[in-house]
Amino acid sequence: MDDKITVMIPEKDVDDKIRILGEQISKDYAGKTVHIVCILKGAVFFACELAKRITVPVTIDFMSCSSYGDGSTSSGVVKIVKDLDQSIEGKHVLVVEDIVDTGRTLSYLLELLRNRGPESVKLCTLLDKPERRTHEVHVDYTGFEVPDEFVVGYGLDYAQKYRNLPYIGVVETDD
Ligand code: 5GP
Query: Mean pLDDT of all residues in the chain?
Result: 93
pLDDT score for 114? 97
Centroid of ligand 1 to alpha carbon of 30 (angstroms): 31
Regarding the beta carbon of 157 and ligand 1, being less than 6 Å apart is answered: yes
DSSP 47-96: HHHHHHT--S-EEEEEEEEEEE-SSSSEEEEEEEEE--SS--TT-EEEEE
Q: How do strand 74-82 and strand 92-100 relate by DSSP bridges? A: unpaired
Regarding the beta carbon of 122 and ligand 1, being less than 6 Å apart is answered: no
Is 57's pLDDT higher than 70? Answer: yes
Centroid of ligand 1 to alpha carbon of 68 (angstroms): 7
**Which residue, among 57, 35, 56, has the nearest Cα to 47 in the 3D structure?**
35
Annotation marks residue 101 as catalytic: yes
Q: What percent of the chain lies above the pLDDT cut of 90? A: 88
pLDDT score for 102? 93
- The CA dihedral of 110, 111, 117, 120, to the nearest 10 degrees, is 40
Centroid of ligand 1 to alpha carbon of 31 (angstroms): 33
Beta-bridge mates of residue 153: 156
CA gap 156, 41 in Å, rounded: 8
Chain center to CA of 36: 11
pLDDT score for 75? 54
Is 38's pLDDT higher than 80? Answer: yes
**Which residue, among 63, 12, 19, has the nearest Cα to 37 in the 3D structure?**
63
pLDDT score for 128? 98
Q: What is the mean predicted confidence (pLDDT) over 1-26?
A: 95
pLDDT score for 174? 65
| Atom 19 of ligand 1, residue of closest alpha carbon | 150
- Ligand 1 atom closest to 97 (CA): 10
Of the listed ranges 39-48, 60-69, 139-148, the one predicted with least confidence: 60-69
pLDDT score for 109? 94
Treating both helix axes as pointing N-terminal to C-terminal, what angle do 11-28 and 44-52 enclose, rounded to 10 degrees?
60
Q: What is the mean predicted confidence (pLDDT) over 18-25?
A: 98
Q: What percent of the chain lies above the pLDDT cut of 70? A: 91
Q: Which of 101, 128, 148, 174 is catalytic?
A: 101
Q: What is the pLDDT of residues 112-148, one digit of tens each?
A: 999 999 999 999 999 999 999 999 999 999 999 999 9
pLDDT tier at 70, thresholds 50, 70, 90: very low
